[in-house]
Structure 1
Amino acid sequence: MSPKLVALSGWLLMAGLILSLCAGFTGLLPGYIAGIPIWCASFLFFPYVRSAQKKQIIILLVVGSAGLIYGAFNGIGAKFWLKALEANQVVVFMLVAVGFLRLFAVDEMRDNEALPQGKRALLRTLFGAHLFGAVLNMSSVVIVGDKLAAKSKLSNTQGLLLLRAFSICALWSPFFAAMGLTLVSAPGAHLSTLVLYGIPASLAALGLSGWQILRRFDAAQMYGYPITARSLWMPCLLAAIVMLSHAYLPSISVLSLVSLIAIGFIFLWMPLKQGRIGIKKIRLHIESGIASSRGEVVLFSAAALLASGVAALLTSLNIHLAPEHFGAFEACVTVMILVVLAMTGMHPVTSVVLAGSVLSPSVSDPNLLGLTLLMGWSLGITLSPFSGIQLSIQSRYDIAAKTLLALNWRYILTMFVVCSGIIWLYSFQAQ
């Protein structure tokens, strides 16, 4: 993209973020108004999206448009078109806002800091990178991975550590795209409930991952990331602020809260810490850094069109694909299906949107659906060689897809049993 187009798209999304926050906190604007800048930016971004992702986006746009047009010819109202126009705006702008936190992470990273070595260092890196990633998303993988790769080529063990630390975040983090899209796809689900049951699942996943990584033949010789309280205070503080804010402002969307807290932190921290230089870095991020998320922006807007189109089609045909009852058994089967879909190359954004659209009519407990979608997302991106995190690790650090697959399948089977147990436990306690 030319620098002018990059800057234009960045300012478009910033304007949309402000509109989204106004809509979320005041209710004076309808949500679809904030979606208009997303579609404008998506139009600019689309020619520069990766070819493999571009094909999937085209399919989503074609199928979604066909569903909306069919619905329009059969008397379906404008609500589905307006929903498509929203372009998953609260999720997109949450990602845009959280992306600003990279400025803090890069600013706080010390280039000359020595890397710790050994099993304890790997274990600390696993848990630290997980907390780091819970707020910084994919940026954490690049920050930690590049630091380790500067010492020597990343080993399979280190690549596995990065993958697990990141993918487990999808089970509970309010800053993660998985949580954002789940709250949209399972309307009525409560963040506190999803986090309450997601954290035990993530602790089990981290414990199992740590046990597997420490048993690797080269674990004692591996270098880890220098995780300190200095690097973790920000993720912990922001997560606590989000949970407290949600408790005191339950009527405000969690995604709007996350966006405001993330953007507010950076817009206060950078000028206070660096003055005019900090303000210049914020402007530079708007005019160049935001565009690094172009793939996600286009994909989320296309997924919104797909969800609206599928809903319009099913409504106009009066078709109900969902089971008569969505309970623990159906939830476990859905997790399995989401993992299988991930293995075919379907992006979790697409599969979660489809699952939400299809299952919503039979869901009496949105929290159960929410847990299901989060677990399917986490396990799917861990196992699938086509997931964004895996493709990033494979290409950036030259780690073979078949190697990661061989290292992950036992973990996936075990975690499926763990997640199923948590689903049944939740269902029993919710009765």
Structure 2
Amino acid sequence: MGLKGVFSGWLLFLGLILSLVAGFTHWIPGYYAGIPIWIASFLFFPDVRPAQKKQIIVLLALGGTGLFYGAFHGIEHQFFIRALAANQVVVYMLIAVGFLRLFAVDEMRQQERLPQGKWAIIRTLFGAHLFGAVLNMSSVVIVGDKLANKGKLVPTQGLMLLRAFSICAFWSPFFAAMGLTLVSAPGAQLSTLVLFGIPVSIVALLLSAWQLAKRPDVEQLLGYPITLYSLWMPALLAMIVMASHHFWPKISVLSLVSLISLAFIGLWMSITQGRIGIRKIRHHIDGGIASSRGEVVLFSAAALLASGVAALLSSLNIDLAPADFGAFEAGMTVIALVILAMTGMHPVTSVVLAGSILSPNASDPDLLGLALLMGWSLGITLSPFSGIQLSIQSRYAISAKTLLALNWRYILAMLVVCLLMLWLYTCV
């Protein structure tokens, strides 16, 4: 990326500061923080993967057409403001959480001896899940590369990494799924989504552990040496976020996550490594932020799509949402999101579309939010085109066909679990 990457990194870091100022003080409008995202997206676009680039072009074309049509039919300026904002709170949350990779590299790589056998694989599943809940895709790369250094990863290990990561989407406040869901289902409460998401994730982890334990090669496989001590960081940050949201409910959860992540890594690196730690933070701004270019461009394009769809529907007075959004409709939304994922549609796109169509008539935004999270998690687990699957397929040479064969029974079982949880939610 060179100088372009350095410039974009510092530009987005400035945008992150603007976003935090807007979120905590309201001294400036939040959409000001979207301007650096659009500039960086323009610079990043040539370096995005070809397959993702095509999808982004489609999103921009559809969103732009909707806004253009709405502009000639007297739509309110809020649709243009929403597009300019470029999902800024979600993008900057991902960028802020990305700094936590500096902690992960130092802490998770200290141990060299790798445990072996069924229980090592199961412990790695749960440990990588907790790290992934905070560190996102970084946890998959760190754990996967460590295992790959000892020999080629086999499908069982690839399945473990996939499940550990994708199950995070059910509940993690640090995950892109939660960030976009809170934006796409206005009024949804983090505490409610986490309260009902964690039981689903526990069932998913236990089911995954049972399936992994039955694999014929599990006793010969190496796991990652994750200990209870090494998990203190994700547990601490999750508790701080939940407590902060309780005491400051009017502050966006995404802004809280961003500030807490930045404050933690700044204090940790300064205290433990001094000037070297500060240099590592600067180095991350120079090059690490640019590694998220695909997500930055995709989220800005999705913001334009959401605004364009909403503007088009508003100008045409079309209401596609069902009159009543209950457990059945929420379940159908989950199934639809999984089907869309199988066509290659990114969950960012499908969640934005579902939110734009359903949120105006969804009397209970928490129910919609749960459906969006469930559809995201199951979709990225099953779809050969999801970002996590593509990473595992290309980085560790595990075929999409193999992962699909290992996942379809899990998806059917978890669909039943999700539908039951949605029904239970409407009963309490």
TM range (shorter): over 0.9
Could you list the per-position Cα deviations for residues 66-124 of structure 1 after superposition, in whole angstroms to 9, with x for gaps in the alignment? 00010010011211001000000000000000000000000113356100001110110
Could you list the per-position Cα deviations for residues 31-79 of structure 1 after superposition, in whole angstroms to 9, with x for gaps in the alignment? 1100000001001100000000000000000100000010010011211
Counterpart of 2:416 in structure 1 is 417
Does the CA-based 8 Å contact 2:128-2:165 persist in structure 1? yes
In structure 2, distance between residues paired with 1:253 and 1:187: 11
In structure 2, distance between residues paired with 1:112 and 1:194: 35
Matches within 5 A, 1:234-253: 234-253=233-252
Question: Over aligned residues, Cα RMSD in angstroms?
Answer: 0.7
User: Secondary structure in 1 aligned to 2:360?
Assistant: helix
**Displacement, 1:229?**
2.5
Matches within 5 A, 1:19-418: 19-110=18-109, 113-418=112-417
User: Secondary structure in 1 aligned to 2:144?
Assistant: helix
Task: Point out where structure 2 has 5 or more consecutive residues left out of the alignment.
Answer: none
Q: Which amino acid aligns with 1:179?
A: M
User: Secondary structure in 2 aligned to 1:319?
Assistant: coil
In structure 1, distance between residues paired with 2:143 and 2:292: 19
Q: Which amino acid aligns with 1:58?
A: I
Which sits farther off after the overlay, 173-182 or 26-35?
26-35
In structure 1, distance between residues paired with 2:11 and 2:105: 24
In structure 2, distance between residues paired with 1:109 and 1:122: 16
What TM-score results when the alignment is normalised by the length of structure 2? Answer: 0.99
Could you list the per-position Cα deviations for residues 372-425 of structure 1 after superposition, in whole angstroms to 9, with x for gaps in the alignment? 000000000000000000000000000000000000000000000000000000
Does the CA-based 8 Å contact 2:111-2:225 persist in structure 1? no
In structure 1, distance between residues paired with 2:107 and 2:315: 54
Could you list the per-position Cα deviations for residues 234-278 of structure 1 after superposition, in whole angstroms to 9, with x for gaps in the alignment? 000000000000000100000000000001101111011111100
User: Secondary structure in 2 aligned to 1:385?
Assistant: coil
User: Secondary structure in 2 aligned to 1:399?
Assistant: coil
Counting matched residue pairs gives: 428
**Displacement, 1:360?**
1.2
Runs of 4+ residues over 6 Å off in structure 1: none
Q: Which amino acid aligns with 1:375?
A: M
In structure 2, distance between residues paired with 1:372 and 1:107: 36
Q: Which amino acid aligns with 1:89?
A: Q
In structure 1, distance between residues paired with 2:270 and 2:35: 30
Which sits farther off after the overlay, 265-274 or 302-311?
265-274
Does the CA-based 8 Å contact 2:101-2:135 persist in structure 1? yes
In structure 1, distance between residues paired with 2:270 and 2:330: 47
User: Secondary structure in 1 aligned to 2:315?
Assistant: helix
What TM-score results when the alignment is normalised by the length of structure 1? Answer: 0.99
User: Secondary structure in 2 aligned to 1:403?
Assistant: helix
In structure 1, distance between residues paired with 2:103 and 2:229: 12
Which sits farther off after the overlay, 410-419 or 108-117?
108-117
In structure 2, distance between residues paired with 1:115 and 1:182: 37
Could you list the per-position Cα deviations for residues 276-333 of structure 1 after superposition, in whole angstroms to 9, with x for gaps in the alignment? 1000000000000000100000000000000000000000000011111110000001
In structure 2, distance between residues paired with 1:393 and 1:373: 24
Identity value in percent: 76
In structure 1, distance between residues paired with 2:228 and 2:262: 22
Q: Which amino acid aligns with 2:44?
A: F
In structure 2, distance between residues paired with 1:339 and 1:110: 35
In structure 2, distance between residues paired with 1:373 and 1:77: 27
**Displacement, 1:30?**
0.7
In structure 2, distance between residues paired with 1:345 and 1:112: 38
Does the CA-based 8 Å contact 2:166-2:381 persist in structure 1? yes
In structure 2, distance between residues paired with 1:268 and 1:64: 41
Task: Point out where structure 1 has 5 or more consecutive residues left out of the alignment.
Answer: none
In structure 1, distance between residues paired with 2:111 and 2:268: 23
Q: Which amino acid aligns with 1:98?
A: V
Could you list the per-position Cα deviations for residues 129-183 of structure 1 after superposition, in whole angstroms to 9, with x for gaps in the alignment? 0000000000000000001111110010000000000000000000000000000
In structure 1, distance between residues paired with 2:402 and 2:126: 22
Counterpart of 1:9 in structure 2 is 8
In structure 1, distance between residues paired with 2:129 and 2:360: 35
Does the CA-based 8 Å contact 2:87-2:303 persist in structure 1? yes
User: Secondary structure in 1 aligned to 2:186?
Assistant: coil
User: Secondary structure in 1 aligned to 2:359?
Assistant: helix
**Displacement, 1:204?**
0.3
User: Secondary structure in 2 aligned to 1:362?
Assistant: coil
Q: Which amino acid aligns with 1:302?
A: A
